[in-house]
């Protein structure tokens, strides 16, 4: 059997560009949960001690040493991370299983909700740099939150593209 253009290993590829875009946005969102959402470091210059930590979207802490009060109790990464993870998976499922107008609205909504989760965390994580009890402290947003925003934007763009395709048919 000779494969035709648009065929993958003899099976026809029926995914629209908007569906692929939303699936990619969902995959980016899923990966973003495992990247650092918050990072902090501390060093005591006179003693030569240094400590750093990184917290991903699931609330898992990497690094060693004391938190020194840098992580606020207001930011609940594990809840937000699970939400972004679930929405990323939902983006993929919506792009595969739903059709027509409902699909485009659901893809757009998933993207917006992912962006909302990223924005909430960006606002709740403050940046701090300075001296505290003779130690130099620095903390701030990890790059994983920016990847959350990217994933949500890609998924929402897929929803908008699907809606445009429906209205031009």
DSSP per-residue letters across 45-80 = TTTTEEEEEEEETT--EEEES--TT-S-TT--HHHH
pLDDT in tens, 88-111: 999 999 888 887 778 888 888 989
Structure-block tokens of residue 10: 């003899």
- Fold classified for 16-61+75-167: Butyryl-CoA Dehydrogenase, subunit A; domain 3 (1.20.140)
Closest C-alpha to 125, from 107, 148, 106, 104? 148
Task: Lowest mean pLDDT of 3-17, 25-39, 65-79, 86-100, name the range.
Answer: 65-79
Q: Are 59 and 77 in contact (CB under 8 A)?
A: yes
Structural domain spans, the chain = 16-61+75-167
Give tens-digit pLDDT for 50-95: 777 788 888 766 544 333 333 444 445 556 788 888 999 999 998 8
pLDDT at 64: 40
| Residue 37 contacts residue 81 (beta carbons within 8 Å) | yes
Helix (H/G/I), strand (E/B), else coil: 133: coil
Q: Residue range 142-152: average pLDDT? A: 91
- The pTM assigned to this predicted structure is 0.74
Phi/psi-derived region of residue 11, left when phi > 0, alpha when psi is between -120 and 50, beta in every other case = beta
Q: Which of 31, 29, 12 has its CA nearest to residue 21?
A: 29
Q: 15: Cβ–Cβ under 8 A, 6 or more apart, which residues?
A: 23, 95
Q: Are the C-beta atoms of 151 and 114 separated by less than 8 Å? A: yes
Distance between CA atoms of residues 87 and 93, nearest Å:
10
By the 8 A CB rule, do 150 and 21 touch?
no
């Amino acid at each position: 059997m000779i494969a035709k253009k648009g065929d993958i290993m003899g099976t026809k590829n029926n995914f629209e560009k908007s569906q692929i875009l939303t699936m990619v946005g969902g995959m980016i969102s899923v990966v973003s949960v495992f990247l650092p959402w918050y990072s902090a470091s501390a060093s005591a210059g006179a003693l030569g001690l240094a400590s750093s930590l990184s917290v991903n979207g699931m609330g898992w802490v990497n690094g060693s040493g004391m938190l020194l009060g840098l992580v606020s109790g207001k930011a609940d990464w594990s809840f937000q991370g699970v939400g972004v993870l679930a929405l990323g998976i939902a983006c993929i499922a919506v792009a595969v299983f739903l059709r027509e107008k409902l699909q485009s609205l659901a893809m757009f909504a998933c993207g917006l909700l992912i962006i909302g989760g990223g924005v909430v965390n960006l606002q709740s994580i403050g940046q701090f740099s300075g001296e505290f009890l003779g130690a130099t402290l620095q903390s701030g947003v990890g790059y994983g939150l920016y990847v959350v925003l990217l994933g949500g934007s890609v998924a929402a763009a897929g929803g908008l593209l699907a809606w445009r395709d429906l209205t031009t048919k």
